[in-house]
Homo-oligomer: A and B are copies of this chain.
Amino acid sequence: MTVKKRAPASLAASRLKIVGVIRSTIKTRGDAPRQGSEGAPDAWLDVRPWAARALDGVAAGDELIVITWFHRARRDVLTVHPRGDTRNPLTGVFATRSPDRPNPLGLHPVIVRAIDGRRLLIGPIEAIDGTPVVDIKPVL
C-alpha cells in the first residue's frame, strides 16, 4: 500500500500549556511509588489562575484522570526493564507505564477529596512535588 506522508497541520502548535502543578509530600523520583495504587499519598493540585474556570462543575467525590508531564523523565528511551528490574526483559515503553518515554505523560486516576477555590485535594497520586499538570478529565 501507499503510506501517506502528510504531516499533521498541528505540529507547530503542539507545545503543552501547564494548567497546574502537583504539591506533594513526595519530593524525589526515588521516593515515589510506581503507581498511585501502591501506597501513594493525597496531594494538592494547584490550578493556574487563567485556567480556573475550566474547573466549573468539578466536585468533591468526583473520579478524575489527571494528566501530568513527568518533567524529570528521559525522552530518548524506547525500551526499559519493567519496574526497573533487570531480571525483566527489555520491553518497549508503549507496553509499559515507564515515565521515561518520548512524551512523558502520566495518567493518574484519582478521587477529588476536597476543593478550595482553584486547589483540588486529590489522591492517591504518585507524582512528585512540582510535577506539571497538563489536563484533567472526568472518568466516563
List residues of chain A with CB under 8 Å of any chain B CB: 3-4, 6, 8-11, 13-19, 21, 23, 35, 46-47, 51, 53-58, 62, 64-65, 67, 69, 71-72, 75, 78-79, 90-97, 101-103, 105, 107, 130-132, 134-138, 140
Contact = CB atoms under 8 A, between A and B. Distances in A.
Most buried by B among A10, A19, A47, A53: A10
21 contacts: A8-B69, A8-B130, A9-B71, A11-B132, A13-B75, A16-B103, A17-B75, A51-B78, A54-B93, A55-B94, A55-B95, A57-B91, A57-B96, A58-B92, A65-B107, A67-B105, A94-B135, A94-B136, A96-B138, A97-B137, A103-B135
A95 B58 contact: yes
Given A51-B78, A102-B17, A8 B97 contact: no
A69 B14 contact: yes
Task: Give this chain's copy count.
Answer: 2
B18 A11 contact: yes
Contacts of A67: 103, 105, 107
Contacts of A47: 94
A95 B135 contact: no
A23 to B, nearest CB: 8
A24 to B, nearest CB: 12
